[in-house]
A and B are shown apart, each in its own frame.
Chain A
Amino acid sequence: MLKKTAPLLSSAALALALGTVSASADIMVGVLVPDSGPAGLFGPSTRNSAALAAEQINASGGINGEQIELVFADVGVPPAEAAQAALRLWKGEGVKAFVGMHDSAVREALIGRFNGQVPYVYTAVYEGKSCADGLYVTGETPSQQLEPVIPFLAEKEGVSKWYLIGHDYNWPRDTNALAKGYIADAGGEVVGEEYVPFTVSEFDSSLQRIKESGADAVLVTLVGGGSVGFNVSFAGFGLDDQAIRLGTLIEENTLAGIGADNANRLYSSSGYFASIETDMAASFAADYSKTFGSDAPALNGLGQSAYEGLMLLAALANKAGSLDVAAMDAAAEGTTWSTPRGENTLTGRHMAQTIYLADGSGGAFNVVASFDNVASSEACSN
Chain B
Amino acid sequence: MSSVLLLNLAWQISTLALVALGLAIVFGKLRIMNMAHGEFVMIGAYAPVITSMLGLPGWLQLPVCLATVGFVAFVLERTIIRHLYGRMFDSLLATWGIAILLREIVELVFGRGYQSVSPPLTGTFSVLGADYPAYRIAVIIGIVLGFIGLYLWNTRSKVATQIKAMVGNPELAEAIGIDTARLSAGAFVFGCCTAGVAGLILAPTVRIEPMMGLDYLIRSFFALVVGGLGSLEGLGIGAGIIAGTQTFLGAVASQTYGYLAVLTLSILFLWLKPNGVRSSSH
Contact = CB atoms under 8 A, between A and B. Distances in A.
Given A208-B8, A225-B209, A257 B115 contact: yes
Contact of B208 (A200, A206, A257): A257
A41 B11 contact: no
Contact of B114 (A202, A254, A261): A254
Contacts of B113: 41, 253, 256-257, 297-298
Interface stretch (A147-155, A230-238, A270-278, A331-339): A230-238
A157 interface: no
B255 A205 contact: yes
B280 interface: no
Contacts, number: 104
B247 A204 contact: yes
A194 B254 contact: yes
A112 to B, nearest CB: 30
Contacts of A260: 116, 118
Contact of A197 (B123, B131, B259): B259
Nearest to B206: A229
A44 to B, nearest CB: 8
Contact of B12 (A168, A197, A199, A202): A202
A40 interface: yes
B212 interface: yes
Contacts of A195: 256
Interface residues of A, number: 35
Given A199-B259, A204-B250, A236 B135 contact: yes
A168 B259 CA distance: 13
B39 to A, nearest CB: 16
Given A199-B259, A201-B206, A225-B212, A237 B114 contact: no
Contact of B206 (A194, A232, A253, A261): A232
A37 to B, nearest CB: 11
Nearest to B118: A261
Contact of B123 (A204, A225, A238, A253): A238
Central interface residue in A197, A204, A208, A232, by most chain B CB within 10 Å: A204
Interface in A251-296: 253-254, 256-262
A256 B116 contact: yes
Contacts of A211: 4
Interface of A: 40-41, 168, 194-197, 199-202, 204-206, 208, 211, 225, 228-229, 232-233, 236-238, 253-254, 256-262, 297-298
Given A204-B250, A205-B250, 20 more contacts: A40-B112, A197-B256, A197-B259, A200-B255, A200-B258, A200-B259, A201-B206, A204-B12, A204-B251, A205-B8, A208-B8, A208-B251, A229-B207, A232-B116, A233-B205, A236-B205, A238-B131, A257-B113, A258-B114, A258-B116
What 6 A-B pairs come out closest when comparing CB atoms? A257-B114, A259-B116, A228-B207, A205-B250, A205-B251, A204-B8
13 contacts: A200-B258, A204-B247, A205-B255, A206-B250, A208-B251, A232-B204, A238-B131, A253-B113, A256-B115, A260-B116, A260-B118, A261-B118, A298-B113
